[in-house]
Amino acid sequence: MTVYLVGAGPGDPALLTLRAAEVLATADVVVYDRLSVASLLDLAPADAERISVGKQPGGPRTSQEDINALLVARGRAGQQVVRLKGGDPFVFARGGEEAAALAAAGVAFEVVPGITSAVAVPAYAGIPVTMRYSSTSFTVVTGHEDPVKGEGSVNWEAVAALGGTVVVLMGAARCRAICDRIIAGGMDPDTPAAAVRWGTRPNQRTLRATLATLADLDPQPPATIVIGEVAAADLAWFENRPLFGRRIVVTRAQPQAAALAADLRRRGAEATELPVIAFEPPEDIGRLERAAAEVGQYDWVVLTSPTGVARFFEQLRDARSLGGVRVAAIGPGTAAALAQRNVVADLVPEQYVAEALLEALSEEGGPEEAGPGGPGRVLIPRAETARDVLPDGLAAAVWDVDVVPAYRTVAPAADPDAAARLADAEVITFTSSSTVTNFVDAYGADAAPEVVATIGPVTTATARDRGLEVAVEAAEHTVDGLIAALEDFFTR
């Protein structure tokens, strides 16, 4: 039984410490605040209890005494308790009070420090809190106490006199009074000042002014205020990333949706996963089983998706049966899935669409070279429903073609809060025709965010057909190509 007082960092989930992730993964109970990032709560086991002690909209805030009592009770009950707090648990977070209550009750506890917003939020705005010579100290002050009533214990005059950098947390609502007190304390009103709202998150905004004018910009909480010469530094890197702040919906199936969303987030986007397709075994798995067992009799195996590769190899009992068979992949994603299984594709067409694959295969053994038995036998393990371009084209060139269903694409149950997420988004990405079809069937074309982006011409045609206006189409028909096209669109 241990209660962990854990710092969750300032918002960016990647700023969680390894120790914090470790204790979250074994938690029985997570006690968290309103500003907690949802994806961090996902690190706890699915069946862990999650207790919000933040102020609920319209409801009361749980009192500190009640939180202390809750931690003590759960700790005594022998549970693994994670008390998750923004930033660092001992920086303006009442972690000290919770630790004292646990110590007094004889409940074992451990502190997992976190990256405090006092330092990390300015850093994400391109403001170093110290600079050699010009800013040799930084003072972190709470702005929670009312500086006008004089009831607080913050000596603003002393803060002003100290010089260096002043970082104010919880000060947005009282920005004017705080700046006035610091000016009254003797700091130059022209001293640079900045307020960073929602720091380290995709919706970060930085306001820059001076000590005298910052309040005119009306900074809203949650914001970190930085006052001092360093606040003039504009070493922006986070807000400069190509897709910064773009709210993008990903409709691919899992686990690919998570991978694409992660790629988008690395470029600054706020990515939402709304998978509109999922993969299931085909009606008759026996055909795939047999085809895999007899694969040695084919001249070519043609794979048209990473999922096709995965399902086919699940059935392939002995890798050596592929020995003399040549393997074609429709594009680099499929080729990469093959490479993961130690198979190097013999053929990847220059354009990653069925038409190009057909042409490339035809060049490998067109009708002229074809002997009496035709150019050869081709196995195509792929989705149960797919376009006929490739098999029909190959058959017309007298290849002996076996199309075998390797998986079925199905529509997952509609997401209940999809409407809100879609209304809030700016971009939607489609990586195949079936994502378009399922999306429109489930949510309607009108629900699509303003900018529709597709992986290539086939998906674009389906989208137009279903009433969507396509603004972005990848020139290279891969996920990386789609990301590049989005970057291009938004930086143009």
**C-alpha dihedral (358, 361, 367, 369), degrees to nearest 10:** 170
CB atoms < 10 A from the CB of 42, how many?
11
**Which DSSP state fits 305?**
S
One-letter identity of residue 197? R
Cα distance between residue 346 and residue 364, in whole Å: 11
Assign 342 to helix, strand or coil: coil
φ, ψ at 238 (rounded to 5°)? -75, -50
Give me the active site residues, please: 33, 55, 170
Nearer to ligand SAH, 87 or 282 (CB): 87
In the complex, minimum distance from the CB of residue 51 to ligand SAH, in angstroms, rounded to a whole number: 19
Residue nearest to ligand SAH (CB): 87
**Which DSSP state fits 200?**
T
In the complex, minimum distance from the CB of residue 137 to ligand SAH, in angstroms, rounded to a whole number: 18
For residue 351, how many C-alpha atoms fall within 13 Å in the half-sphere facing its CB? 11
Residue 56 Ramachandran class (φ > 0 left, ψ -120 to 50 alpha, else beta): beta
Q: Which residues of 437-456 are buried (b: 16+ CB within 10 A; e: fewer)?
A: bbbbebbeeebbbebbbbbb
Nearer to ligand SAH, 169 or 451 (CB): 169
Site residues (CB under 6 A) for ligand SAH?
Answer: 10-11, 85-88, 91-93, 116-118, 121, 169-170, 196, 198-201, 221-224
Cα distance between residue 236 and residue 448, in whole Å: 32
Nearer to ligand SAH, 125 or 470 (CB): 125
Nearer to ligand SAH, 200 or 251 (CB): 200
In the complex, minimum distance from the CB of residue 294 to ligand SAH, in angstroms, rounded to a whole number: 58
The residues facing 344 across adjacent strands are: none
Taking alpha carbons only, the member of 234, 91, 99 closest to residue 170 is 91
Nearer to ligand SAH, 83 or 201 (CB): 201
In the complex, minimum distance from the CB of residue 178 to ligand SAH, in angstroms, rounded to a whole number: 12
Nearer to ligand SAH, 68 or 256 (CB): 68
Taking alpha carbons only, the member of 139, 268, 250 closest to residue 203 is 268
In the complex, minimum distance from the CB of residue 454 to ligand SAH, in angstroms, rounded to a whole number: 34
In the complex, minimum distance from the CB of residue 221 to ligand SAH, in angstroms, rounded to a whole number: 5
Taking alpha carbons only, the member of 187, 197, 129, 140 closest to residue 167 is 140
343: its two tokens: 């198979």
Instruction: Report whether 471 contacts 449 (CB < 8 A).
Output: no
Nearer to ligand SAH, 113 or 281 (CB): 113
Nearer to ligand SAH, 6 or 274 (CB): 6
One-letter identity of residue 153? S
In the complex, minimum distance from the CB of residue 10 to ligand SAH, in angstroms, rounded to a whole number: 5
Cα distance between residue 377 and residue 297, in whole Å: 8
Instruction: Report whether 139 contacts 119 (CB < 8 A).
Output: no
In the complex, minimum distance from the CB of residue 128 to ligand SAH, in angstroms, rounded to a whole number: 16
Q: Which residues of 239-273 are buried (b: 16+ CB within 10 A; e: fewer)?
A: bebbbbbbbbbbbbbeebbeebbebbbebbbbbbb
